[in-house]
Amino acid sequence: MNKIIAFLSLVLISAASFAQPIYKTVKNIKYYPQEEYKKDSYKDSMCVLDLYYPEGIKNFATIVWLHGGGITGGHRDLPEPLKNKGYAIATVEYRLSPKVKAPAYIEDAAAAVAWVFKHIKQYGGSEQLIFLSGHSAGGYLVSMVALNKTYLGKYNIDANRVAALIPFSGQAITHFTVRKEQGIDALQPVIDSMAPLYFVRKDAPPTILITGDRELELFGRYEENAYWYRMMKLTGHKQTKLFELEGYDHGNMPEGAYPLLLKEMQQRIKEINSEKK
């Protein structure tokens, strides 16, 4: 009998060791100070995030994910391929044009990222393992936050603390919605202070650029990212990569990009953890 009990105990312990963590979602977290919502009803309805995270795990990595939609539409979403991987995902809602104009939505993205930096430790996460990603407009917004250091600097956060920037088909030049707000044609390329390309720098966080097929992508999205990649290299940035997903268009390219995001995250996490030793 004692042998049976001991065997069953061993089985239970082994099963527990392979058990998946339980994931919890906290919804509608306001990422600006509370007083800012009282004076702006649109901000009150839009500027929130949902945090999906693994309970009982310490020092997990977090993906701050911003949705696409041309900065004129879309809603925060929790990408299914990123769930149950041991990471937290902060899915962010932000204000949209034409109700607001640039840089309001970039400021929203920065405020959300700052909230994660300041609060993720309370949920068990690591401040050193915060990754920024998003599709299309979301990729553009996280790129502006990571490269133009003034946005996070407002919160006394050095943008170089971002573990890695991994935009999906993000616009590298000034976003077409920003140009539209300024009366500039959608096909007139502009690189100004509203463009990630304007802020290429040697000391930027590791940057992994992912686009769809250049012949299927929206406008010149691959070529923009290819130029971004080249300029980062020329500045002396040593951790820039560019991936083109052949056969994928702008809409379905995330299907091929999610595995790359997870792979690059795992590699970067190993690098950061090895640096601690």
- Give the C-alpha separation, 152 to 138, whole Å: 17
Alpha helices in the chain (DSSP H): 2-17, 34-38, 41-46, 104-119, 137-147, 150-153, 176-181, 221-235, 253-276
Is the CB of residue 91 less than 8 Å from the CB of residue 50? yes
Query: How confident is residue 7, by pLDDT bands cut at 50, 70 and 90?
Result: very low
State yes or no: pLDDT of 146 exceeds 80.
yes
Residue 276 confidence (pLDDT)? 77
Query: Does 4 map to a domain?
Result: no
For the stretch 24-73, pLDDT in tens is 999 999 999 999 999 899 999 999 999 999 999 999 999 999 999 999 99
Q: Is the pTM of this model over 0.85?
A: yes
Give 17's pLDDT tier (boundaries 50, 70, 90).
very low
In a domain? residue 7 = no
- Is the pLDDT at 14 greater than 70, yes or no? no
Q: What is the CATH number of the domain that holds 203?
A: 3.40.50.1820
In a domain, 1, yes or no: no
Give residue 83's pLDDT: 98
> pLDDT digit string (tens) for 168-220?
999 999 999 999 999 999 899 999 999 999 999 999 999 999 999 999 999 99
Question: Which range is least confidently modeled, 10-19, 111-120, 221-230, 262-271?
Answer: 10-19
156 has pLDDT over 80: yes
Tell me the residue range of the domain where 103 lies: 22-276
pLDDT of residue 13: 42
Asked, for residue 178, whether it belongs to a domain, the answer is yes
**Looking at the domain assignment, is residue 153 inside a domain?**
yes
The answer to whether residue 17 sits within a structural domain is: no
Taking 70 as the threshold, does the pLDDT of residue 12 lie above it?
A: no
**What is the residue-wise DSSP string for 148-195?**
STHHHHTTT--GGG-SEEEEES---SS-HHHHHHTT--TTS---STTS
- Has residue 160 been placed in a domain? yes
For residue 12, being part of any structural domain is answered with: no
pLDDT of residue 186: 86
pLDDT at site 19: 64
